[in-house]
Amino acid sequence: MKRFILTVLIIASLPLYAQVSTPLPHREGQGGESLSLRQLTDSALLHNLATRSAHHDIEAAQEQRREAFTKYFPNVSATAATFNANRGMAKMTLDPQTMISPELGAALAQSFPPEAMAALAAPMNMTMMKSGTIASVTAMQPVFAGGQIVNGNRLARIGEEVSELQLQLAENEVEKTVSQYYWQLVSLHEKQRTLAAVDTLLADLHKDVDVAVRAGVAMRNDLLQVQLRQNDIQSQKLKLQNAIDILKMTLGQYASLTPTPSPTGEGSRYSFEIVVPDTNKQDYSLPSPVREGTGVRLLPEYSLLQKQVEAAKLQKKLAVGQQLPSVAVGAGYNYHNLLDNDRTFAMVFATVSVPISDWWGGSHAVKRKKIELQKAEEQLEGNAQLLAIRLQKTANDVTEARQQLLLAQQGIDQANENLRLNRDYYRVGTARMADLLEAQLLYQQACDRHTEAYADLQHKLLLYRQAGGEQ
């Protein structure tokens, strides 16, 4: 009779077990906006420090390219100087006797008085350039510089392309990090909802068993086991809520969301919620098979390796160009008043510069650049193989994650059947309360594994897309 009454109480609680196996609807957070993964990713891509720094690198590379382009134009310079010395920088003595022939002297003696002739025959001292001003404007147009200007511009362009590829890598890393935080948070929310359903189940079961114990048809040990299980659920809730709060703060900070002041005045908190998808959806198609070499050339890492080879080639050409003669033509306009009168003039000129002494060390510089080029080419070949392996691994990881999800779904079905059997066994008196609670715990663990498998699959799909594996 006692067992029959207890069976009736257990049967009354059966609908609560069924609630665990049905997907729970998503509830919007109280007082905060509900954000999707795409919204969080867009916010992080727009405001995260890594992407902002990559954008600054692109702007700097663009300015460097523009700077290199100016080397094609003439180099215009203006110079001005003025001076005042304590004595003339040029001094000379004029002796008329050495400049006037005897015939001219005799003719002058007939025309000038003796005093004038005596003064004319005396030596004269002259000083010049005690003070003055010099100014000039010069334009130099390089005609041939050993290809240094052309190759320098190409190298600057490669630098800009490299910074754009690095931005793509930074965006991929930000998207990957946001995805990891988001799906961890989804997993915790799903576990929280599972705990809430289990807690409701245990509360009703506790009430029913307590009535049975008071009626003397159940053992008090059954009630204690339910209470212990309730305490364990409460402990899990506290740990889970703390983990959600910390993870939400981490995600909010990484996505550059604006925190709101805490009601208690102690710091700030993130009040946003996340859109939790339906983790029971089973339409997960396998990725297309990855053919050998397919997709590797689309990876930004592979493009960076190619740019490294191109840059090494240009640097070798620059090293060769530094050993070649350089030719330039120019024109200038000059002014000076060194001879106590203003003087202006224009001129055109050409220059040829041959780096003779640089040839001694230049040959070694060229050989060093050749070695660096060979090293870059070998790195391209070796790392391309590693990238192909990584791409195949991401495809395998997606396949494995999908299989794990299917196994987790089978685990839920099996745990649900095990729970049903233990309920039946307990109802007829062939199972203990500990067995029933153990079956409930196994069902909870199966639900948690399904949630984790779903989140892991979504993250692996993102990594597969980033690896260029989508066909």
Model confidence, pTM: 0.74
pLDDT at 180: 92
Higher pLDDT, 305 or 258: 305
Higher pLDDT, 302 or 434: 302
**Chain segment 324-342, per-residue pLDDT in tens:** 899 999 999 999 888 778 8
- Position of tokens 């077990």? 17
108 pLDDT higher than 60: yes
Q: How far apart are CA 203 and CA 205, in angstroms?
A: 5
Q: How far apart are CA 17 and CA 2, in angstroms?
A: 23
What's the Cα-to-Cα distance from 69 to each of 146, 151, 153, 155, rounded to whole Å?
Answer: 16, 11, 6, 11
182 pLDDT higher than 50: yes
**Do the beta carbons of residue 326 and residue 353 sit within 8 Å?**
yes
pLDDT at 271: 73
**Chain segment 431-459, per-residue pLDDT in tens:** 788 888 888 889 888 989 998 999 999 89
pLDDT at 19: 34
The angle subtended at Cα 147 by Cα 144 and Cα 149, nearest 5°, is 90
Q: How far apart are CA 355 and CA 319, in angstroms?
A: 12
What's the Cα-to-Cα distance from 428 to each of 11, 101, 243, 301, 432, rounded to whole Å?
Answer: 11, 153, 41, 65, 10
Q: Give all domains of the chain, ordered by start, each with its CATH number.
A: 2-89+129-466 (1.20.1600.10), 91-128 (no CATH)
C-alpha dihedral (37, 38, 44, 50), degrees to nearest 10 = 100
- Position of tokens 């809730």? 237
pLDDT at 169: 92
**Do the beta carbons of residue 80 and residue 133 sit within 8 Å?**
yes
3-state DSSP helix/strand/coil % of the chain, to nearest 5: 65, 15, 20
240 pLDDT higher than 60: yes
- Position of tokens 């998207």? 175
309 pLDDT higher than 80: yes
pLDDT at 283: 52
**Chain segment 193-232, per-residue pLDDT in tens:** 888 888 887 887 788 778 877 877 677 888 888 889 889 9
